[in-house]
Structure 1
Amino acid sequence: MTLHTIIPMELVFQGFDSDPEPTHEVKVNGIKMEVVPLAPGMGRIVRLLDCSLNDYLNPELSPGCIIHYGSLNG
C-alpha cells in the first residue's frame, strides 16, 4: 500500500503500536453493539454488530456516541 500525504509520518502512525482499548459487547433495545466502557453502565460505541439497516442511519447509534446500557445489556 502506498500512502501519499503531507502529514508527518509520526502523526499518521500515532498510536499504531499501542494496545487497543478493551471493549465489551452489549445489547441495548435489541441492538448488539461493541462499546468501550467509560463508567459503570456507560460506554462509547465502537461499532454496531447486530441490528437492522435503518439503525445505521440513527445518529444516536453512530460510533463515538455515548450510550447508557446499565441493566439493559444482555
Structure 2
Amino acid sequence: MILYTTMPQEVIFPAENSEYEKQRVVAYNGVSLVVQQTEMNSYQIVRNLSTDPAHYLNGEYAPGQTIYLGQ
C-alpha cells in the first residue's frame, strides 16, 4: 500500500501515548492547521496544512503562534 500524503507517518499510524494524541486539525480563517491545545480556548499551531503559498508567508499561521478558538 502506498499513501501519497503530506502528513507524517506518526499521524496516520499513531502509537499509543504519543504527543500526536493531543493534536487535532482545525480550520482557522479558512486555513487548515494542526494545533495542540495549551489552555482552555488557546491553541498553539504545530503545522500549516494549506496548499496556498500565501498562507505560509503570513506569520499569523506560522508554527508556534497562539490562536484562540471559540467553542
- Band of TM-score, shorter chain: 0.5 to 0.7
Residues 7-64 of structure 1 deviation map (CA, whole Å, 9 limit, x = unaligned): xxxxxxxxxxx94251011111101100010122210000011342101001121101
Higher relative contact order (CA 8 A, sep 6+): 1
What is the TM-score of this pair, normalised by structure 1?
0.62
Task: Tell which structure's C-alpha radius of gyration is larger.
Answer: 1
CA contact (8 A) 1:31 1:51 kept: no
2:28 aligns with 28
Identity of aligned residues (%): 30
Q: Match for residue 9 of structure 1?
A: none
- For the 8 Å contact 1:42–1:70, the answer to whether it is kept is no
Flag structure 2 segments of 5+ consecutive residues without an equivalent.
1-16
TM-score for the superposition, normalised by structure 2: 0.64
Unaligned runs of 5+ in 1: 1-17
Match of 2:46 in 1: 46
